[in-house]
Structures are given as C-alpha cells and as structure tokens.
C-alpha cells in the first residue's frame, strides 16, 4: 500500500494554521533554527525487517494481521513509514530471513521507495532447517572447529548479499556464552570467537564496517562471550580500523550509564552504530522513549557533543537503527512512535547550550549544569520535528494520517488476517 501524496497534503493543510503558530513561537526562541531543521531532515533511522511483524515472547505470539509475507512487502512497509515520517529512509536486513532472490529487482524496489540498505545482520543464534551443524553450544566460540567454520562461512555469505544490495556494514550479534558456571573456558571462548571474527573481517570490502554488538545476558544466562562494551571494544580494537562497537540500548544491565559508555566509545573513535529501543527490566524491546525518555535525551546529548568534538557528520558517520519487536501494538504504529521519540531526543540535544554547559562544568557549577541540560530537555520540540518532516515532504502528524487512512485495515485486506512475517 502507498500513501497518495495529495492525501498527505490534505491532512497537512488541515493542520497548517495551528502548526504554523506553534512552530513560529518555538522558532523565535531558537538561534540557529534553520541549521537544526536541516540536521533533523538529514537524520534517517533504519528500520529492521524483523520489526514489521508482531514480535513474540517466549510464551507466545499474537499475530496482528496484514504482516509482510515477503522481502518485497517488508520494503513496501518501510516505504510507507518513510512516506509518512520522511525519516525512515533505510532498511536493515537479516539473513537468512530476508535472502533476496533477485538482488537487482529488490534494489530497484527499495530505490522506488527512497530507501537504501543499512547494516546486514547475520544469524548464528538459531539453527535453520537443513543446517548441518547445531549452534546449541555457541557458534564462533564453539569447541568444534567445523561449527566455527560454518559460522564464518555464514557471515561471509551475508557480506556477499549485502554487496549485491549496496549495504556497507555487517552487524554481528552472537548469542554465544554459557548458562552455568564451569561450562566454558572464558579465555578459549574469547580467542575462538576472535579468530572467527578475524576471518570475517578479512572478507569485508574496503568501504565496509563491521559492528560488534554486545549483550549482557540472554539467551546465555551465566556469561556472554560478547557481554559488554569492554569486551566488544577489545574485539574491535584487535580486529582493526573497520571494526566498531555497536550499542543496543536494551543490552545493558539495569541502570547502566549508557551515555557515559557512548561518550567514551566516541572518544576512542570506536562507536559504530546504535540500536534503539526502550526497557524497564531487561531486553524488553519496548517503544523507544516509552519508559525513559530522559535517558534517551542524555544519550543524544553525548552523541551530539562527542560527534561534534570529532567533526563527524551526525546523519552518516554512525549507523542508526531501531531494534525492537512489538507484541501488543501494531508494529507500524509502534515504529512511527519510535522514530518520533528519536527525533525529539535528537532535537532536544541540538538545543543544549554546549558552551554554557562547558563553562558551568569548568567552574564546578553543578546546579547550572543541570539547569542547562533540563532546559533543553523540557522544551517541547514537537513543532520543530514536525516542521522538519513537513519540509521533507512528510506528514505533520504521521500516526494520525496512518490511522485516518486505515492503513492496517488495507494491509489486512490485501495480505490476510493471519499472515506471519517471514523470520519471526
Ligand atoms: Mn540489537
């Protein structure tokens, strides 16, 4: 399904006066409003193919209907999101769930929707039908060299698919680890994993990056072989300049200071990308900004400050992606909310008076430092984000348009009430 341009403009027209009033009031208080608008327009967040269907828990899965049945339909769904929010201009694929049968036609379809291919994701955390050797006891850490070889070959295949589609990065997330004390020799597991990653790294094209994603626990419950940012950074440093750490917000132990992690990884030039989601207890895969929007803002504050310190391009020098899987919301509505939350946090971070904050820090004025941050955080930047979206051809109120046009109903009619997104 596609959103007709004129319909979108009709909705925008209905809200034009109210929006204009709100935006002009806010803009009058912002010094460099045009440059902030441009940054917001440029900032695109990739949608992972697996977020387009209903996610499950280990207890069950409640399919929502109208889910994409093929890679083509996944691309159409992301295209639809992008036409509404003008901020989801990329899709991230997962192999083997999204193997393109005809790369050229898939590439052309994505281009029609204004989409590019973000990081490719490999999968050695589950066994596929017909797979020769099992990953039950890990993949790259496995005691059996043949299993490790299989995991290496799979990742190299994923790179090959990515090259055909024009992707430029590979994300490796391993579920490797142990669930019981004594099960694993930590050093051997690390070394074996490193050696495998080195072989995959050697297969990267010149312009590619490799992202090493960490996770504190689950599915391994005693140790994870890439369990935290220290371990990921150690792998990335040993691998070489094309290897980076990837931060997934849900992959930390409770109350971890993620903004500090981000700051130091940026300082080291080793932050590669981001997976956005939100959580209260663990890897809850909740809508971005739904639980702790202040933390999201603090993270963006460090991202903006750290990227500016290194002269980085906010939009293109790091990989930005949502990684969540929703089991009670319409996945497309949820993604619209997540993208909006990211844009809001980014816009607020762009409003921080960095010079005043640095002066407050240097003079140990703790109260002033807090005031400066919270002044930005408590600014209602929604009209600013909406204006950027409008200028880029999107909807002032994407979720409202999505509902008014009865998109989900159309998708159910087209695809059926009991479709299950491939891969989930
Ligand atoms: Mn992730």
Mean pLDDT, 10 residues at a time, the chain of 424 residues: 92 98 98 97 97 86 88 98 98 96 97 98 97 98 98 98 98 98 98 98 98 97 98 98 98 97 98 97 95 98 98 98 91 97 98 98 98 98 98 98 97 89 66
CA of 367 to the centre of ligand 1 (A): 36
CA of 360 to the centre of ligand 1 (A): 36
Which residue matches tokens 């933390």?
A: 295
CB 170 within 8 A of CB 162: yes
The confidence score (pLDDT) of residue 327 equals 86
How far is the centre of ligand 1, averaged over its atoms, from the C-alpha of 279 (Å)? Answer: 13
Cα 375 to averaged position of ligand 1 atoms, centre (Å):
31
CA atoms of 251 and 279, how far apart (whole Å): 9
- DSSP letter for 143, please: S
Helix (H) or strand (E) holding 171: strand 169-173
Alpha carbon of 166 to ligand 1 centroid (Å): 21
Parallel, antiparallel, or unpaired: how do β-strands 223-224 and 177-178 relate?
Answer: antiparallel
In the structure, ligand 1 is a single-atom ion and the residues with CB under 5 Å from it are 248, 275, 323
Task: Output the CA–CA distances (angstroms, integers) from residue 196 to 18, 47, 154, 223, in the order listed.
Answer: 57, 28, 11, 19
Partners of 320 in beta bridges? 274
What's the 173 CA to ligand 1 centre distance in angstroms? 7
**Which tokens hold the place of 264?**
């130091």
Q: What separation in Å is there between the alpha carbon of 20 and the centre of ligand 1?
A: 38
Ligand 1 centroid–CA 275 distance in Å is 5
Q: Do 80 and 408 meet the contact criterion of CB atoms below 8 Å apart?
A: no
Distance 381 CA to ligand 1 centre (A): 28
- Predicted local confidence at residue 2, as pLDDT: 87
Neighbours of 385 (CB within 10 A): 23
Tell if the pTM clears 0.95, that is, is over it.
yes
What pLDDT was estimated at residue 226?
98
Alpha-carbon distance values, 399 to 18, 151, 297 (Å): 17, 41, 22
Intra-chain end-to-end CA distance of the chain, in Å: 22
Separation between Cα atoms, residue 349 and residue 365, nearest integer Å:
20
Say how many Å lie between the CA of residue 379 and the centre of ligand 1: 30
Distance 213 CA to ligand 1 centre (A): 7
The set of residues, in sequence order, having a beta carbon less than 8 Å from that of 233 and lying 6+ positions away, is 245, 265, 268, 270
Task: Specify whether the CB–CB gap between 411 and 1 falls below 8 A.
Answer: yes
The alpha carbon of 362 and the centre of ligand 1 are apart by a number of angstroms equal to 36
| Cβ–Cβ < 8 Å for 67, 332 | no
| Centroid of ligand 1 to alpha carbon of 250 (angstroms) | 8
Q: Would you call 311 exposed, middle or buried from its count of C-beta atoms within 10 A (0-12, 13-18, 19+)? A: exposed
- pLDDT at residue 423, rounded to an integer: 66
Cα separation, 342 vs 277, in Å, equals 10
d(CA 153, ligand 1 centre) in Å: 22
Show the tokens assigned to 363: 């003079």
CA of 418 to the centre of ligand 1 (A): 27
Specify the pLDDT at position 57: 82
Q: Three-class SS of residue 207?
A: coil
CB 246 within 8 A of CB 232: yes
Ligand 1 centroid, distance to 323 Cα (angstroms): 5
Round to whole Å and give the CA distance between 141 and 26: 53
Ligand 1 center to residue 257 CA distance, Å? 18
**pLDDT score of 422:** 66
């Amino acid at each position: 399904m596609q959103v007709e341009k004129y319909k979108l403009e009709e909705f925008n027209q209905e809200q034009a006066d109210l929006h204009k009033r709100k935006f002009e009031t806010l803009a009058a208080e912002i010094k460099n409003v045009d440059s902030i608008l441009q940054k917001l327009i440029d900032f695109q967040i990739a949608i992972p193919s697996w977020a387009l269907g209903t996610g499950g828990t280990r207890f069950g899965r409640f399919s929502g209907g109208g889910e994409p049945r093929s890679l083509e339909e996944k691309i159409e769904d992301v295209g639809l999101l992008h036409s509404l929010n003008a901020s989801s201009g990329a899709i991230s694929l997962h192999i083997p769930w999204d193997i393109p049968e005809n790369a050229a036609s898939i590439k052309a379809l994505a281009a029609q929707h204004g989409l590019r291919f973000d990081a490719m994701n490999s999968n050695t955390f589950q066994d596929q039908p017909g797979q020769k050797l099992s990953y039950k006891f890990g993949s790259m850490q496995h005691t059996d060299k043949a299993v490790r070889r299989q995991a290496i070959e799979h990742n190299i295949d994923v790179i090959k698919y990515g090259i055909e589609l024009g992707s430029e990065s590979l994300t490796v997330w391993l579920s490797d680890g142990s669930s019981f004390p004594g099960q694993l020799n930590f050093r051997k597991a690390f070394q074996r994993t490193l050696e495998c990653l080195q072989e995959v790294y050697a297969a990267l094209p010149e312009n590619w990056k490799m992202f090493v994603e960490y996770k504190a626990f689950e599915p391994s419950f005693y140790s994870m072989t890439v369990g935290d940012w220290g371990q990921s950074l150690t792998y990335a440093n040993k691998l070489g300049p094309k290897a980076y750490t990837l931060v997934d917000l849900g992959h930390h132990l409770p109350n971890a200071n993620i903004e500090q992690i981000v700051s130091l990884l940026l300082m080291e030039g080793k932050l590669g990308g981001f997976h956005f989601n939100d959580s209260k207890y663990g890897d809850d895969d909740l809508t971005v900004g739904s639980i702790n929007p202040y933390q999201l803002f603090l993270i963006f504050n460090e991202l903006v400050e750290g990227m500016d310190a290194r002269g980085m391009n906010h939009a293109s020098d790091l990989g930005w992606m949502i990684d969540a899987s929703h089991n009670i919301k319409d996945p497309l509505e949820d993604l619209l909310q997540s993208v909006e939350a990211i844009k809001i946090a980014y816009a607020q971070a762009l409003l921080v008076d960095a010079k005043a904050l640095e002066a407050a820090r240097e003079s140990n004025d703790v109260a002033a430092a807090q005031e400066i941050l919270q002044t930005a955080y408590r600014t209602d930047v929604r009209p600013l984000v909406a204006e950027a979206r409008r200028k880029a051809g999107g909807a002032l109120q994407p979720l409202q348009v999505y509902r008014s046009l009865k998109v989900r109903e159309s998708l159910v009619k087209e695809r059926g009430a009991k479709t299950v997104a491939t891969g989930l």
